[in-house]
Chains A and B, each alone.
Chain A
Amino acid sequence: NAGVMQNPRHLVRRRGQEARLRCSPMKGHSHVYWYRQLPEEGLKFMVYLQKENIIDESGMPKERFSAEFPKEGPSILRIQQVVRGDSAAYFCASSPPGGASYEQYFGPGTRLTVT
């Protein structure tokens, strides 16, 4: 059973370009979460999605950031017009369906560098 997959692992973008990060959850998992980790800081929640629905985007910056989890295919975190402050590690996590709280399974992360 493959774990959470993220690609690319490393992404370099120039200021003003778009960054597109992909996440495939574990098989059977229908909940996807995105977190951002700045150097020497903790993980910060960004958004929680289920298939075709954004459930909680309270941690997403109001501008330039968007996320989706289509019916088919991976979840995508999109950052438009990147700035240097967007440089960070972006982690995706997934958890199984159900009403109880479950542990989250994390991917290896995408390290975004904005030059």
Chain B
Amino acid sequence: SQKIEQNSEALNIQEGKTATLTCNYTNYSPAYLQWYRQDPGRGPVFLLLIRENEKEKRKERLKVTFDTTLKQSLFHITASQPADSATYLCALDQWDTGRRALTFGSGTRLQVQP
């Protein structure tokens, strides 16, 4: 079965710096990879989706890369702000095999210091 690894240690950075979070997976390459944000006591919120034939995707201060050779995705937040502090989850689906369930990593907690 698919395994997803995200750095379980919290990432602490200064406001204004770029935060980079890593998502590594084993086994097969998914058709799609997604990133979600989760705040304490709340449900995950969708941020970005990248397809296997896309190398990079951007949305405002967010950027996601997808390297199917390395089996890795990087998630960048530029000009980080304290409001960006949250847990960020990487998720893969198996839509191409008929399964639409998402497999989530355990998340990386980001703390942006003012």
Interface residues of A (CB under 8 A from B): 4, 31, 33, 35, 41-45, 48, 55-56, 58-59, 91, 93, 95, 100-109
Contacts and interface: CB of A to CB of B under 8 A. Distances in A.
What 8 A-B pairs have minimum CB-CB distances, sorted nearest first? A106-B43, A42-B106, A103-B46, A101-B95, A45-B101, A43-B104, A42-B104, A101-B32
A35 B102 CA distance: 9
Contacts, number: 59
A56 B46 contact: no
A106 B101 CA distance: 13
Contacts of A108: 42-43
Contacts of A104: 46, 102
Interface residues of B, number: 23
Nearest to B35: A103
Contacts of A100: 95
Contacts of A44: 104
A36 to B, nearest CB: 11
B12 to A, nearest CB: 19
A106 B100 contact: no
Contacts of B41: 109
B27 to A, nearest CB: 16
B89 A31 contact: no
A30 B95 CA distance: 16
Contacts of A33: 100-102
B101 A91 contact: no
A54 to B, nearest CB: 12
Contacts of B89: 42-43
A106 B45 contact: yes
6 contacts: A35-B104, A42-B105, A43-B102, A91-B44, A101-B95, A102-B49
B101 A43 contact: no
A58 B101 contact: yes
B46 A105 contact: yes
B61 interface: no
